[in-house]
Structure 1
Amino acid sequence: MRGRWSLSSRLALLFAACAAVVSLFAGVLFSRGSEAHFIELDQQLLEGKLIGLRRALQDLDAEQTQRRLEDELSRQADLALRIKGSDGVRWYDSSIRIPAQLPERPGLSTLSDADNDYRVLNAPLYPDRADSPQLTLLLDITHHQHFLQRMQRLIWLTVGLSALATALLGAWAARRALRPLRRMGAIAGNVSARSLNARLPEEQMPAELAELAHSINAMLGRLDDAFQRLSAFSADIAHELRTPLSNLLTHTQVTLTRERSLEDYREALHSNLEELQWMAQLVNDMLYLAKADHGLLALHREPLQLAEEVDVLLDFFAPLAEDANVRLSREGEGRIEGDRNMLRRALSNLLDNALRFTPADGEVRVRMVDGAQGMSVCVENSGEGIAADLLPRLFDRFYRADPARQEGSSEHAGLGLAITRSIIRAHGGQIRCESADGWTRFLIELPKGE
């Protein structure tokens, strides 16, 4: 962490680099444009002077030519003229400061000597004659070059200052813009097992961070829900084990208060055995659910005729249904691939649950529909319905919709539906409950498999 740059510093340097590049590019363009503009102006000036000189040197004697040249050149002090004959012999220099060596090529060019810079234009005096004398016009552009040099220095200064100013402003802007991130970090730093209800203020976040804040809040919500479930789960385990442990302790202490017969000790051991068996079953169910939560249930898949499996279970529950005066029936059939023992356990839990809450002269039905996408199984029973607000909690561990069954029981601990849901999910299916019009239905959707 010590060698890493902060995000604000990185953004500030990026802003500075971008500002420097843009300023430099704009300065170079302005410098090149200014230089091209000066060249264009110099060319126009020299070409205008060339036309005037050609007109002034037409049909004049030497004395008149001298006066006319002096008159033309006197109007602009930074302009000089050299005339050479067609044989290269120098005829005339208007100034002694003209460099000895000048460009020979026709047209416009630039010349620099030790002290001055010149724009040079070479052209024939008589364009229509091959033996025409050559005119060389020189324009002193030293002041132009000085201007361009000052402008280049100004460009570099502007680049440096703009980069520095942009870095400072960028750092300030980045730090201000990243304030929501620091706020998110502060809230996240204060989150603990006791404060999972803390949430990020999504409405105060920029648009770019609102989605992230929403995701973090959703994660905190899931963690809070999982922690609450875990806490409730631990409390439920303690609650469920409290009664049988209390029974065991009380029964054992009472038995040991005085000498008893062998038959009394045997009866006490049998009573304790029932409680221990129930506790062992509870522990086994909890281990089963823990494996399901971590995806450790090993399925032994095989082709199953689901109607045959349901018929076996209905035959098993038939005596109980007969004693309770409840009718059992099965409709439809279908074939799936799954674990025989697990599916039998899941359906057995649903049938046992249905029989317990079906009144006399009621009915329990198992309906199956073999569809193209998978198998649908419905276990339904007539009787008093379940309130809509209780339906989402039916598959919670240790939850009992019947308020009369809140204490620990040696028969039902409220894990049957949770185990059923784990088995169905392990097979890639889904289960839900509906209750309306005097019927409670557990609907199962199972994939057909390969």
Structure 2
Amino acid sequence: MKLGHRNNATLSARLIRWLASLSLGVLGCLCLGVFFSVKVNLETQQDLRLEKFSTAIRHMFEETPVHLRPGTLEHDLDDLLKINRDLHLRLRNRSGEVHFVSTPGSWPSKARFYSLELPDKARKNDFSIAELALDTAPDEAILDRLAAILWAAALIGSAAITLGGYLIVYLGLSPIRTLAEQTRSLAIRSLDKRLETQGIPAELQVLVDQFNDLLNRLEKAYRQLEGFNADVAHELRTPLANIIASSELALRSHDDDENLRDCIGSNLEEMHRLSGIVNDMLFLSQADRGAKARRTPVPSLAQLCAEVADYYEAVLLEADLQWSIDGDASGKFDAALLRRVLSNLLNNAARHAYRGSSIVIRIRPEADGQVELSVINRGEPIPAASLPHIFNRFFRVDTARSQGHQNHGLGLAIVSAIARMHDGEAFAKSGHGETEIGIRLA
């Protein structure tokens, strides 16, 4: 439980913890630097004092022979040591016995020591070694007080920085709390609302823009889902109602076998239509889940298009339409899916083309390696307001659904899905009595 709580710590707590650790570490290092700098400086001064005092003693023995006589040496050494009360001196003979102590009974326990050999003149008077001791207790007391002050300053400074950092972090994260409050107000019935971008810091602007873009896509998907459900209900209701009505009439009547056969045939036709709608919806569902085309080498798209056009020749002749193929290309494509694309495009063109006109199947390779496959027909242009929506499911330019028994509005949606399965896109152009609908294949 403790580990989970630590992992779920707030951003503010993490920042404050990091800031407290950083400030304590930095101030601690600075205080340690100051402490050791003062300590080294004090030790250097102590060494200099010991060196100067040892030099004075050496000169005393070398340059003033009178000091070698008994009685005068102790007197002059006492006078010298009165000026430096924290310095202590011991003189030893060659055997190590002490012959002189500046402060008998008070030799310092905490001191810096220095030893020097006396000149030959002093040795004649049985003085061989001089031992100096500099009492460091006052300096160590100063260092102890300095260490306490520095550590207190480090702790107080770290606490002050942490408190100030907490206030800065709290104020700095206020835009995030504002965004959190705004997101709580969003609901499925208010998909038109967006996060406010005014006053948002530049660092959060990208996140807010991406989130608003996500909301745009969600709103669009939700609206499409609502329309899709309504269209599915509409498309399925009519054939189901026809099947139910004809079946009830057949059960109530006493018609002969021929009439019952006609009823069953009509019901079968409606069920084939329902099966086609379900199969197309399943195909679109697979495409939406990221299904990819099974690519195989296609040596000639023109040959493939000619095969599909030959299959639709009866339909085209009935509509008094001519067809032709413009261009050719080769590559790796899913031939079965391209036949379905061309079938849907030809079927769509045949329904909307003027009688006696021509339909052109255009194949155009592009410089970036893509291939455009489109069908062009002459007929009533698609309104500009409807053109961006013709690849939506169950969308019909004819809102009255006058040809609903022939077309259930999924053909161009399947065309767009197959384009995506080839890592391409569908496109449509309409104007000046000519409509071109097709796909780009990558």
TM-score range, shorter chain: 0.7 to 0.9
Aligned to 1:4: 5
**Would you say 1:341 and 2:336 are equivalent positions?**
yes
Matched, 1:121 2:114: yes
8 Å Cα contact 1:82/1:136 also seen in 2 = yes
1:379 and 2:384 are equivalent in the alignment: no
1:43 aligns with 2:36: no
5 Å-filtered alignment, 1:407-446, equals: 409-446=404-441
The answer to whether structure 1 residue 401 and structure 2 residue 397 are counterparts is yes
CA distance change for structure 1 residues 130 and 200 in 2, over 3 Å: closer, same or farther? farther
Distance 2:269 2:45 in 1: 113
Contact 2:390 2:397 in 1 (8 A): yes
Paired position in structure 1 for 2:362: 367
Assess, with a 3 A threshold, how the Cα gap between structure 1 residues 130 and 73 changes in structure 2: closer, same or farther. closer
Q: Which of residues 215, 225, 238 is equivalent to 2:220?
A: 225
Matches within 5 A, 1:171-250: 171-189=166-184, 191-245=186-240
Alpha-carbon spacing, 1:296–1:444, altered in 2? closer, same or farther (3 Å): closer
- Taking the aligned partners of 2:342 and 2:237, their CA distance within structure 1 comes to 30
Report the CA distance between 1:437 and its aligned residue: 4.9
State how far apart, in whole Å, the 2-side matches of 1:127 and 1:119 are.
26
Correspondent of 2:64 among 37, 59, 66: 59
What's the CA shift string for 1:128-167, capped at 9, x where partnerless?
9998844333322211111111222333434444455555
Q: Deviations over 1:316-373 (max 9, x none)?
A: 3334444444331112333344444332221011112122222244321112245683
Q: 2:145 maps to which residue? A: 150
The answer to whether structure 1 residue 306 and structure 2 residue 307 are counterparts is no
The alpha-carbon distance between structure 1 residues 295 and 65, as it changes in their structure 2 partners (threshold 3 A), is: closer
Across the aligned residues of Structure 1 and Structure 2, the Cα RMSD in angstroms comes to 3.7
**1:78-107 deviations in Å (ceiling 9; x for gaps):** 2222333456443432211453xxxxxxxx
Higher helix share: 2
Residue 396 of structure 1 aligns to a residue whose secondary structure is coil
Give TM-score, length-normalised by structure 1: 0.80
**Partner deviation per Cα, 1:37-69 (whole Å, 9 max, x = no partner):** 111222233333344444444224235544433
Q: Does 1:68 align with 2:76?
A: yes
Determine the structure 1 residue equivalent to 2:22: 18
TM-score, with normalisation over the residues of structure 2?
A: 0.81
2:18 is paired with a residue whose SS is helix
Q: Is the 8 A contact 2:195 2:212 kept in 1?
A: yes
- How many positions carry a matched residue from both structures? 431
Alignment correspondent of 1:288: 283
- Residues 217 and 129 of structure 1: CA distance in aligned 2, closer, same or farther (over 3 Å): farther
C-alpha distance 220-258 of structure 1, shift in aligned 2 (>3 A): same
> Residue 234 and residue 70 in structure 1: after superposition, are their counterparts in 2 closer, same or farther (change >3 A)?
same
Choose 226-235 or 331-340, whichever is displaced more. Answer: 331-340
CA contact (8 A) 1:240 1:407 kept: no
Aligned positions of 1:248-327 closer than 5 A? 274-295=269-290, 299=294, 301=296, 303=298, 305-327=300-322
Q: Report the alpha carbon displacement of residue 20 of structure 1 after superposing the two structures with TM.
A: 2.5
The whole-number CA distance in structure 2 between the counterparts of 1:19 and 1:128 is 62
Does the aligned pair in 2 maintain the 1:124–1:134 contact within 8 Å? yes
Return 5+ residue gaps in structure 2 as ranges: none
Letter in 2 for 1:224: E
Bigger mean CA deviation after superposition, 203-212 or 294-303: 294-303
The 2-side partners of 1:36 and 1:277 are apart by 99
**Equivalent residue letter for 1:353:** N
Task: Tell me the CA shift for residue 196 of structure 1.
Answer: 3.7
Partners of 1:251 and 1:4 in 2: CA distance:
66
Q: Which runs of 5+ in 1 are unaligned?
A: 100-111
Q: Separation in 2 of the partners of 1:387 and 1:234?
A: 25
Structure 1 CA distance for aligned equivalents of residues 27 and 335 of structure 2: 76
In structure 2, do the counterparts of structure 1 residues 370 and 177 end up closer, same or farther at CA, with 3 Å as the change threshold? closer
Q: Which amino acid in structure 2 is aligned with residue 381 of structure 1? A: N
- 2:352 matched to which residue of 1? 357
Q: Percent identity?
A: 29
- 1:85-124 counterparts in 2 under 5 A? 85=93, 88-99=96-107, 113=109, 117-124=110-117
Question: How big is the shift at 1:234?
Answer: 0.4
Whole-Å separation in 2 of the counterparts to 1:442 and 1:37: 89
1:127–1:159 distance in 2 versus 1, CA, 3 Å: farther
* Matching residue's letter, 1:410: H
Is contact 1:244–1:408 with CA below 8 Å preserved after alignment? no
Decide whether aligned partners of structure 1 residues 335 and 299 sit closer, same or farther in structure 2, where only a CA change above 3 A counts.
same
For 1:392 and 1:231, how far apart are their aligned partners in 2? 18
Structure 1 residue 233, shift from structure 2 partner: 0.7
Change (3 A) 1:286 1:75: same
Write the letter of the residue equivalent to 1:59: T
Query: Helix, strand or coil: the match of 1:344?
Result: helix
